[in-house]
Chain A
Amino acid sequence: MPTDPLQTGGPQVLLRGVALSKQYRRGGWLSGRSSPVAALHTVDFTIRAGSTLALIGASGSGKSTLARCLACLEKPDSGEIWFDGKDLVSLSQRELAAFRRQIQLIFQEPAASLNPRFTAVQIVSEPLLIAGRGTKKERQERAIELMALVGLPAGLASRLPFEFSGGQRRRLAIARALALEPKLLILDEALTGLDLSTRAQISNLLLQLQEVYSLTYLCISHDLDLVTHLADDVVILREGRVVEDLAPDQSVSSQSSQADNPLAVALELSSLPG
């Protein structure tokens, strides 16, 4: 099994993407004209352990594709994903099983990401069941603990997803993602569509969880305010390419106005048609 040749920073770097590329094919097999669409084009980035990297860009810039590649839901066509010293792209499915549990994705649409037929406690204990951990009773107890951790009382355990509010569903999705004690949480537009107060509550919850469990976040968002609140580093994607990789000191928090803010300017540029 190959190890990361560039792991210079020791335990500081949790994940490193090297020249990641991914193409999709558009067009039918009957027409004989299928054209490739590049979703990612030699993308390089680094996520430091315990930090939050914000990945921002306009719609169709490849953010979600990158998230799916990192969560091992899709395989990049080329490139390397170094996680904890191992290249995930070169691992077999069996070898990958242990690693993919350490990277959990919280989806864009929390309602659709929760099995509509499962109760809250089944949803949160589902990853433990799949991983074959504990007895049914132990799994349920753990699920109730995790629900309490994200602010969902045990009384809601037997409710179905459609009986929860938008904010509660996000909390449920976070509780489920934490079940396997991951090192990296990928938040794919995880706070989109929430009202301001709920969004503030959830982002504070995420910060608390990060502190307590030393979690690392990859936060995908359109929302500059959220990026300001959560991110330590920022990567801006445009048409599948990294156009900006801003160091923490260049990040938004130190900027006084939107016009002076390199992040806002870069985001605006990234949303212009190519």
Chain B
Amino acid sequence: MAHFLTQRLARALLVLFGVSLLVFILIDLAPGEYFQEMRLNPQISRETVAALRTQYGLDQPLPVRYGRWLRSVSRGELGFSFAYNSPVWPLLKRRIGNTLILTITSLVCSWLIAIPIGIRMADRAGRWPDRISGIGVTFLQATPDVLIALGLLALALRVRWLPTGGMHAPDFSETEGLGGVKDLVLHLVLPVLALTAGMLPVLVRHVRSAMLEVLDAPFIAAARGHGIRRYRLLLGYALPAAANPLISMFGISVGALLSASLLIEVIMSWPGVGPMLLEAILQRDPYIVVAVVLFSTLFLVAGSLLGDVFLYIADPRIRVE
């Protein structure tokens, strides 16, 4: 297991290195930079702009800038934000926490809902429960995430049961304890619903098809021949046997959900990395963009690594091999 983990971690580090280099090159290729707008301002002289570019190292060639950025990563700063005039990590860490709260809650909800629905659909394949759920799943899949989020916001505004934006009520104080948790949960409901609704169709379809394939297997028929009860057959035999593709899907869903959450955060004013990334792209604040992309990659890699570990634990064949 230690060898397996070391191997995967080494690969993950290599991926992160490659992605950071690629993002640097892409940002360099993109037209415009943070100080470009200053040039349009007649009150700021060309010399001042040139001095600022020199001060922040933008006049240096790409390899030098990348080397400096790597050194700042080793200091735990992840570069420097021109817009905030501050190292990136202190700006990002609180927002990453907020994004993780949203994403992990949505991930858990999506899988907890998708697994029983997918199992039920596979168990009743071709019958009415399967067909009706199939129609619902197709409808959700065909609806863009933005539309789902806007629809939920419109509904929430009409019924006024839930807060429609942010992470806490305006009068919220950090020391509220249980009240604070309740406030957070209430604010989580809408973005989590939007993210779950976006993710659910893909997961349900995967669970259904993985279960269908296994339910047809002769070893399941053999267990039925031994008189096993239906729920035990589904949960104790078929679900573990169908787990491999689902665990791989879990790894992918972690990354996919983060991408979706960036959009939902912007729409629902969730103070995560999504709005910060959008702002940084518009302002051409490159190191924040690099840091957010790296965080996104790290999340994807961590999801994939977690998937591999789950596979290793769940499937004795992988351990034997």
Contacts and interface: CB of A to CB of B under 8 A. Distances in A.
A160 B316 contact: yes
A42 interface: no
B227 A130 contact: yes
Contacts of B225: 71-73, 100, 103-105
Interface string A105-131: 101110011111101000000110011
Contacts of B232: 130
Interface residues of B, number: 21
Contacts of B90: none
Contacts of A113: 218-219, 221-222
B222 A130 contact: no
A269 interface: no
Nearest to B227: A97
B221 A107 contact: yes
Contact of A127 (B219, B226, B320): B226
A42 B283 CA distance: 79
Given A126-B226, A127-B226, A130-B227, A160 B219 contact: no
A24 to B, nearest CB: 12
Contacts of A180: 226
A103 B226 CA distance: 9
Given A101-B227, A105-B225, A112 B320 contact: no
A179 B225 CA distance: 12
Given A29-B131, A160-B316, A162-B317, A73 B126 contact: no
Interface string B210-226: 00000001110111111
Interface in B59-98: none
Contact of A160 (B131, B227, B320): B320
Contact of B316 (A68, A107, A117, A127): A117
Contacts of B219: 112-116
Given A97-B227, A112-B219, A131-B226, A117 B241 contact: yes
Interface of B: 126, 131, 217-219, 221-228, 232, 237, 240-241, 315-317, 320
Given A117-B241, A117-B315, 15 more contacts: A29-B131, A68-B221, A73-B221, A100-B226, A101-B226, A105-B225, A112-B217, A113-B221, A114-B222, A116-B241, A116-B317, A117-B317, A126-B223, A160-B317, A160-B320
Interface of A: 29, 68, 71-73, 97, 100-101, 103-105, 107-109, 112-117, 119, 126-127, 130-131, 160, 162-163, 176, 180
